[in-house]
């Protein structure tokens, strides 16, 4: 599951969640699967999952319990990368989210410390219009308000429209609840709306997450976050960068609802039909303050300046205008450095005033680097996210007989998009022509090719980018 060039960040917090007084069910030592551990758990218990790859699609089934990797015990983020819930082999293709929380669970229902991948969403009837949708590739939350912390949510999708009105919420779908989504990393998830996160008739607290390179939005927009009805949701101290929508709202869509967004960085997001960073639809309202918005946005304390990220990890360099530029109220302060109480504790920077982005504030995340998530491709997503083109992860992936490849051009260019097998032999040329600036997508019909790993290469006269994909028949 190597997906990006550069080191992909995972998230940890300083405080270890207390589990000493709860019953602990060990997986697989005591129960063979995570779902069996949930079935055996009582309210308040912890299902503690050892490292490994678990091909499961789990359901909390109304239990206010903790389901966590060993990260919860020692804050070693290696447990996050090594404890994988892989939803790619569901017993029912219409119940294919990695995690379902849909039976009235409250904030004491906690999911913490996993990699969630391979989910393709759950067929779900919206109680507000009776239409069927496929939603929540990584996590489906409905009529519930759980806490989701310190997870890597990567390469999930909600794109299959078969038998449904649409499909969205590739990373997380939230409906009719008020969850806390904190210190997660969402990367390369896809959906026809809300590729990263969907908030549908829901409120919620979305804070200190990195939402990077999620894409889709063809039906209703929203590459990073898509919010519809009810509200307001609180969106604080997130880094939302390089997401894409083939319609509106590359970063955030606010549709007939409202959001309160503070101390965020929205940079380098793209949309074909308007609102590359933020798009307001049908009376949507956005109270945005103390945020760095690419292209600017009216609001108290907002800036429009290069974030000046480090080459890897989205840390702020010492010259970043986002340092000490968040909301000045003490309730938003960064944690103090014990040895220098007037200075912020790393990875927060500068003095105690809030830093914009995922590293600012009391809940700020720490994102160590992991070699396992280095790709064979792409340039570092730093500063203004330079480069003549961008190449996104294909979807679905893995795939059967066809897959979609999406790329973005910064200017009109002559480009080639070619497919190679593991022996380095070219097996297909998908594009070889002059193309306009913007987002493009191409289908590879692969029914005549054998299962296995393939590489697709995008090149112009400046940049060559390569990604890996897997065909399974």
Which CATH number is 461's domain given? Answer: 2.60.40.1930
Q: Do both 369 and 398 map to the same domain?
A: no
Contact 451, 472 (CB under 8 A): yes
Domain extent for 415? 389-471
Tokens of 120: 């393709």
Q: How far is CA 5 from CA 52, 152, 374, in A?
A: 24, 16, 5
Q: Do both 83 and 40 map to the same domain?
A: yes
DSSP, res 74: H
- The reported pLDDT for the residue numbered 10 is 47
Q: Which residues make Cβ contacts (< 8 Å) with residue 413, sequence separation at least 6?
A: 388, 389, 434, 435, 460, 461
User: Is residue 60 classed exposed, middle or buried when 0-12, 13-18 and 19+ CB atoms within 10 A define those classes?
Assistant: buried
Tell me the mean pLDDT in the region 166-188: 95
DSSP, res 97: -
- The total number of structural domains that make up the chain: 2
Task: Give the residue, 379 or 285, on which the prediction is more confident.
Answer: 285
Contact 223, 216 (CB under 8 A): yes
Q: Do both 77 and 45 map to the same domain?
A: yes
Q: Do both 264 and 412 map to the same domain?
A: no
Q: DSSP per residue over 370-429, as a string? A: EGGGB-S------TT---SEEEPPPBSSSBSSEEEEEEEESS-EEEEEEEEETTS-EEEE
Cα–Cα distance, 146 to 107 (Å, whole number)? 4
Tell me the mean pLDDT in the region 3-11: 44
The overall longest dimension of the chain from CA atoms, in Å, is 64
Identify whether 320 is part of a domain. Answer: yes
Q: Does residue 11 carry a pLDDT above 50? A: no
**What does the buried/exposed string (b/e) look like for 116-128 if buried means 16 or more CB atoms within 10 Å of the residue's CB?**
bbbbbbbbbebee
Q: Of 345, 373, 401, which residue sits at a domain end?
A: 373
Q: Tally Cβ neighbours within 10 Å of residue 318.
A: 9
Cα–Cα distance, 93 to 131 (Å, whole number)? 18
| Residue 419: strand pairing partners | 428, 456
Q: What is the pLDDT of residues 42-88, one digit of tens each?
A: 999 999 999 999 999 999 999 999 999 999 999 888 899 899 999 99
- The reported pLDDT for the residue numbered 382 is 36
* Backbone φ and ψ of 331, nearest 5°: -65, -15
| Residue 352: strand pairing partners | none
Q: Of 373, 399, 425, which residue sits at a domain end?
A: 373
Q: Do both 172 and 79 map to the same domain?
A: yes
Mean pLDDT score of the chain: 88
Tokens of 124: 């779900």
Q: Do both 286 and 410 map to the same domain?
A: no
DSSP three-state, residue 249 = coil
Task: Give the residue, 167 or 379, on which the prediction is more confident.
Answer: 167
Q: Does residue 380 carry a pLDDT above 70? A: no
Task: Give the residue, 220 or 399, on which the prediction is more confident.
Answer: 220
Q: Does residue 455 carry a pLDDT above 50? A: yes
> If pLDDT is split at 50, 70 and 90, which confidence band does 381 have?
very low
Identify whether 203 is part of a domain. Answer: yes
Identify whether 450 is part of a domain. Answer: yes
Tokens of 198: 């969907």
> If pLDDT is split at 50, 70 and 90, which confidence band does 155 have?
confident
Q: Which of 261, 250, 167, 166 is nearest to 212 (CA)?
A: 250
- The reported pLDDT for the residue numbered 33 is 99
Say if strands 464-471 and 452-459 run parallel, antiparallel, or are unpaired.
antiparallel
- The reported pLDDT for the residue numbered 390 is 82
Identify whether 114 is part of a domain. Answer: yes
Q: Do both 429 and 351 map to the same domain?
A: no
> If pLDDT is split at 50, 70 and 90, which confidence band does 277 have?
very high
Q: Does residue 461 carry a pLDDT above 70? A: no
- The reported pLDDT for the residue numbered 310 is 76
Q: Do both 271 and 214 map to the same domain?
A: yes
Domain harbouring 221, CATH code: 2.160.20
Q: Do both 264 and 364 map to the same domain?
A: yes
Q: What is the pLDDT of residues 225-275, one digit of tens each?
A: 999 999 999 999 999 998 999 899 999 999 999 999 999 999 999 898 999
Percent of the chain with pLDDT over 70: 89
Q: Which residues make Cβ contacts (< 8 Å) with residue 241, sequence separation at least 6?
A: 210, 211, 212, 213, 265, 266, 267, 268, 269, 314, 381, 385
Q: Do both 298 and 179 map to the same domain?
A: yes
Cα–Cα distance, 226 to 218 (Å, whole number)? 12
Q: How far is CA 339 from CA 14, 335, 343, 362, 449, in A?
A: 17, 12, 9, 18, 61
Cα–Cα distance, 92 to 88 (Å, whole number)? 11
Q: Do both 295 and 401 map to the same domain?
A: no
Q: How far is CA 29 from CA 18, 47, 109, 114, in A?
A: 21, 11, 22, 18
Q: Do both 418 and 283 map to the same domain?
A: no
> If pLDDT is split at 50, 70 and 90, which confidence band does 2 have?
very low
- The reported pLDDT for the residue numbered 473 is 72
Identify whether 380 is part of a domain. Answer: no
Q: Does residue 416 carry a pLDDT above 70? A: yes
């Amino acid at each position: 599951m190597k997906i990006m060039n550069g080191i992909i960040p995972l998230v940890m917090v300083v405080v270890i969640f207390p589990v000493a007084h709860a019953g602990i069910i060990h997986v697989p030592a005591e129960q063979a699967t995570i779902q069996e551990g949930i079935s055996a758990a009582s309210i308040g218990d912890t299902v503690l999952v050892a490292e490994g790859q678990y091909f499961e699609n789990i359901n909390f089934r109304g239990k206010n319990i903790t389901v966590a990797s060993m990260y919860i015990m020692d804050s070693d983020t290696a447990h996050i990368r090594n404890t994988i819930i892989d939803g790619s082999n569901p017993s029912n293709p219409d119940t294919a989210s990695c995690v379902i929380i849909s039976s009235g669970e409250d904030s004491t229902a906690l999911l913490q410390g996993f990699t969630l991948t391979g989910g393709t969403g759950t067929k779900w009837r919206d109680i507000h219009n009776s239409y069927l949708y496929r939603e929540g590739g990584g996590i489906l939350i409905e009529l519930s308000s759980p806490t989701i912390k310190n997870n890597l949510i990567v390469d999930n999708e909600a794109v299959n429209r078969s038998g449904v009105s649409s499909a969205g919420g590739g990373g997380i779908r939230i409906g009719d609840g008020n969850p806390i989504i904190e210190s997660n990393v969402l990367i390369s998830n896809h959906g026809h709306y809300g590729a990263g996160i969907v908030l549908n008739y829901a409120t919620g607290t979305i804070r200190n997450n990195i939402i990077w390179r999620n894409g889709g939005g063809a039906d209703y927009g929203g590459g990073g976050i898509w919010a519809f009805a009810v509200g307001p949701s609180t969106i604080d101290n997130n880094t939302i960068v390089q997401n894409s929508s083939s319609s509106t709202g590359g970063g955030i869509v606010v549709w007939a609802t409202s959001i309160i967004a503070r101390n965020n960085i929205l940079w380098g997001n793209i949309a074909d039909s308007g609102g590359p960073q933020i798009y307001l639809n049908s009376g949507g309202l956005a109270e945005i303050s103390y945020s760095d918005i690419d292209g600017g946005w009216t609001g108290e304390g907002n800036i429009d300046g290069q974030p000046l990220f480090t080459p890897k990890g989205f840390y702020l360099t010492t010259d970043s205008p986002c340092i000490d530029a968040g909301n000045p109220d003490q309730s938003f302060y960064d944690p103090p450095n014990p040895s220098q109480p007037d200075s912020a504790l790393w990875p927060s920077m500068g003095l105690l005033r809030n830093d914009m982005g995922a590293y600012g504030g009391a809940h700020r995340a720490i994102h160590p680097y992991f070699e396992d998530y280095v790709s064979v491709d792409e340039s570092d997503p730093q500063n203004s996210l330079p480069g003549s083109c961008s190449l996104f992860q294909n979807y679905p992936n893995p795939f059967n007989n066809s897959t979609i490849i999406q790329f973005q051009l910064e200017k009109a260019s002559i480009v080639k998009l070619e497919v190679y097998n593991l022996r380095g032999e070219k097996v297909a040329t998908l594009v070889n022509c002059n193309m306009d600036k913007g987002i493009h997508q191409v289908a590879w019909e692969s029914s005549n090719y054998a299962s296995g790993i393939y590489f697709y290469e995008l090149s112009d006269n400046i940049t060559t980018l390569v990604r890996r994909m897997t065909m399974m028949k």
